[in-house]
Chain A
Amino acid sequence: MILSIAEALRKAIYDEMERDDKVFHIGEDIGIEGGFGGAFTVTLGLEKSFRDRIIDTPISEIGIFGAACGAAVMGMRPIVDVQYGDFLFCAMDQVANQIAKLRYMSGGKIKVPVVMRAPVGVTGRGSQHAQNMEPYFLSCPGIKIIAPSTAYDAYGLLKAAVRDDDPVLIFEHKLLYGAKGARKEEGAIDASSEIPDEDYTIPIGKAIVRKEGKDATIISHLLMVHHSLQAAKTLEKEGISCEVIDLRSLWPLDIGLISESVKKTGRLFIVEESPKQGGIGAEVSAQIAETIPDHLISPIVRIAAPNTPAPFSPVMEKFYIPQPERISKEVRKIIEEY
């Protein structure tokens, strides 16, 4: 059946809760009758099937993440919803000091299998409901990070996350959910997929080639995969062949797949929606420069948001988010020069 990302995540949560009664979901406004099913409809209606395990909370992020941490240590499999990724900062002590470190500090004797669901993306709401905060967590050892750009991956990755014995942070993009009705997002992109009627998972740590090519490697995740594919399509018509890789997992990074592609194309472009400063591009390009510098025939290019918070005005917002035109321009420039 064809599902949107919101529906695929909902199905994954449903299926995992049915498979394992240790799985529960906790968060603000996730299971209120007549409510929204979380800010982006992902949990809509799940409370009808699992009233005891869809847990609505007060607005208390430290409490929510701490409770998930404690329950996980005691053998449960919590999934936490944080409404907007931006509010992860409110829970940061529990996330970065506790969830990420408890196992290590116990000498490997404790397991903390928490799944944290965080919507990201710049979407007309101003600086505090907009952040793509992936890089903050890229520098936080102890947490795995995933980011699905299609419904097929959303289903398989979330299931893998629930079954994983380590903390997993899943970033979901507001413009990719495919939320319907009153909660439809302006400027949304269709990321729905055919979801087979089978119990599949997608391994954490594996990227995927979305489009093969030979002149340049473009790597990205979430919304930027869709923008990169659009750019690649434009460039293809001009005779420039781009390989587009969807990272899917940000930690661990599938540096193997990226390297293979760079060895083939000799050119690397990293596209991300967060500021360039300390971003994913910095990590990836450092790893490539450290390991296979001789394969590069041109400088690595990072295409990212400016080093500022997200602005509100639509004009500035459009400038802020790397657009397909900007991606193709940057690629074209390098190809012409080198």
Chain B
Amino acid sequence: MEHEDIIKELGKEKLIGFYTKMVKIRSFEERIRFLFLEGKMPGTIHQYIGMEANAVGVCSALQKDDVIASTHRPHGHAIARGLSFNEIMAELYGRTTGCCRGKGGSMHLGNLEKGMLTAIAIVGGNLPIVVGMSLAFKLMKQNRVAVSFFGDGASNEGSFHESLNMAAVLNTPSVFVCENNQYGASTSIKKVMKIENIADRARSYGIEGVIADGMDVIDVYIHAKDAIEKARKGGGPTLLELKTFRFCGHSRRDPGSYIPKEEKESWQRKDPINNFKKLLLNEGLAGEDELDDINNLIEKELDESIIFAQESPEPAPEDTLKDLYATMEVPE
């Protein structure tokens, strides 16, 4: 299908929805960056700036009862999956109203009721679990799909290879979404991989490997939808590689000095939000005012979530002893 036809088919509402979700992620990340710089927020963060099209494209193709699993960089996934600013912000502040009641923090965001497993900060750690979640769907004859988000770096972990092969032979309804942002922490993927496309690794396991443009939310959406629907129909797993980039450091404390300027600039020209905004305007799908209104609403929602988080109760110190076992108290 041509891009134009696709735009027609998706329709204005859906496209504005993509835009809104992407801006939500960008604005959230920009805002908490300042909160950190001002020393108002505890902990550490790994941000998603530049990668918004990935989470939004994939999550928009999911049904309500599908499940995603995320990584140490989960803010974008959480917002795209529909967790509220309030529950995310409060979690970053370590408050009882956070999605993990202050036990998880930035690297473990999640809310299973909303289709997102508690994020897993061990690189490559979520892939085997996604095999298991989708195996459960298959065994329980539920028409659901499980999606793993992970990075280029994670595809060098043994768990990646074991998971793809297992998902293949068990024919589970899994989708493995590799967000190839060209770096694992400070390490260029070129230094640690002899192949150009991570998607090629799918062939070794007899499953389909697909590449999409991670800076183009429509391209991500279309390819994700194909993979998800295929999985839902019993067609088995897919490895979907999204070519993307982060416009921020690996973590809050990383100025990103190892990234060549030209590389960064060439990716910044592909900014998924700027370009999508241009498309909406050029196609006459939205006016400047309309988009400004969306941005303003999001800023307001963010303001409110910060107040919500800051005014939410801190856990009691002894709450440390809660939530470990389902069947007993923590023994002395």
Is the CB of A60 closer than 8 A to any CB of chain B?
yes
User: Do A313 and B123 form a contact, CB below 8 Å, given A59-B157, A126-B107, A308-B321?
Assistant: no
Of the stretches B167-175, B206-214, B238-246, B251-259, the one at the interface is B251-259
**What is the 8 Å Cβ interface bit string for chain A, positions 295-310, against chain B (1 contact, 0 not)?**
0000000000011110
Inter-subunit contact A312/B103 (CB<8 Å): yes
Inter-subunit contact B314/A315 (CB<8 Å): yes
Complex Cα gap A51–B317 (Å): 48
Of the stretches B183-191, B224-232, B287-295, the one at the interface is B183-191
Is the CB of A35 closer than 8 A to any CB of chain B?
yes
Inter-subunit contact A58/B156 (CB<8 Å): yes
Complex Cα gap A86–B123 (Å): 11
Of the stretches A26-34, A135-143, A160-168, the one at the interface is A26-34
| Nearest A residue (CB) for B107 | A126
Inter-subunit contact A56/B330 (CB<8 Å): no
Is the CB of B304 closer than 8 A to any CB of chain A?
no
Residues 288-332 (chain B) with a chain A CB within 8 angstroms? 314-321, 324, 330-332
User: Do A29 and B253 form a contact, CB below 8 Å, given A313-B103, A315-B317, A316-B315?
Assistant: no
Shortest B328–chain A CB gap in Å is 11
Inter-subunit contact B153/A58 (CB<8 Å): yes
Residues 94-143 (chain B) with a chain A CB within 8 angstroms? 94-95, 100, 102-108, 120-124
Q: Which of A126, A129, A307 sits near B331, CB closer than 8 Å?
A: A307
| Nearest B residue (CB) for A182 | B253
Complex Cα gap A61–B184 (Å): 14
Shortest B164–chain A CB gap in Å is 15
Complex Cα gap A194–B249 (Å): 35
Shortest B14–chain A CB gap in Å is 35
User: Do A33 and B320 form a contact, CB below 8 Å, given A59-B184, A312-B103, A313-B94?
Assistant: no
| Nearest A residue (CB) for B256 | A34
Is the CB of B204 closer than 8 A to any CB of chain A?
no
Is the CB of A14 closer than 8 A to any CB of chain B?
no
| Nearest A residue (CB) for B324 | A308
Is the CB of B42 closer than 8 A to any CB of chain A?
yes
Residues of chain A within 8 A of B321, CB atoms compared = 306, 308
Interface size class, chain A: 35 or more
Inter-subunit contact A309/B187 (CB<8 Å): no
Is the CB of B43 closer than 8 A to any CB of chain A?
yes
Is the CB of B284 closer than 8 A to any CB of chain A?
no
Complex Cα gap A105–B124 (Å): 32
Is the CB of B44 closer than 8 A to any CB of chain A?
yes
Is the CB of B192 closer than 8 A to any CB of chain A?
yes
Complex Cα gap A124–B124 (Å): 22
Residues of chain B within 8 A of A29, CB atoms compared = 185-187
User: Do A309 and B324 form a contact, CB below 8 Å, given A34-B257, A316-B317?
Assistant: yes
Complex Cα gap A61–B156 (Å): 10
Inter-subunit contact B43/A32 (CB<8 Å): no
| Nearest A residue (CB) for B257 | A34
Is the CB of B193 closer than 8 A to any CB of chain A?
yes
Residues 251-305 (chain A) with a chain B CB within 8 angstroms? 277
Shortest B91–chain A CB gap in Å is 8
Shortest A202–chain B CB gap in Å is 31
Is the CB of B55 closer than 8 A to any CB of chain A?
no
Q: Which of B106, B187, B258, B315 sits near A126, CB closer than 8 Å?
A: B106
Inter-subunit contact A87/B317 (CB<8 Å): no
Residues of chain A within 8 A of B187, CB atoms compared = 28-29, 32, 35, 56, 58-59
Complex Cα gap A59–B153 (Å): 6
Complex Cα gap A240–B105 (Å): 40
Inter-subunit contact B314/A313 (CB<8 Å): yes
Inter-subunit contact B121/A129 (CB<8 Å): yes
Residues 120-173 (chain A) with a chain B CB within 8 angstroms? 124-129
Is the CB of A57 closer than 8 A to any CB of chain B?
yes
User: Do A306 and B320 form a contact, CB below 8 Å, given A32-B186, A59-B156, A313-B315?
Assistant: yes
Complex Cα gap A235–B192 (Å): 54
Is the CB of B78 closer than 8 A to any CB of chain A?
no
**3 nearest A-B pairs in the assembled complex, by CB-CB distance:** A313-B94, A312-B105, A35-B186
Q: 8 more A-B contacts (CB under 8 A) besides A32-B186, A307-B331?
A: A34-B258, A36-B185, A86-B122, A126-B43, A127-B103, A313-B95, A315-B314, A316-B320
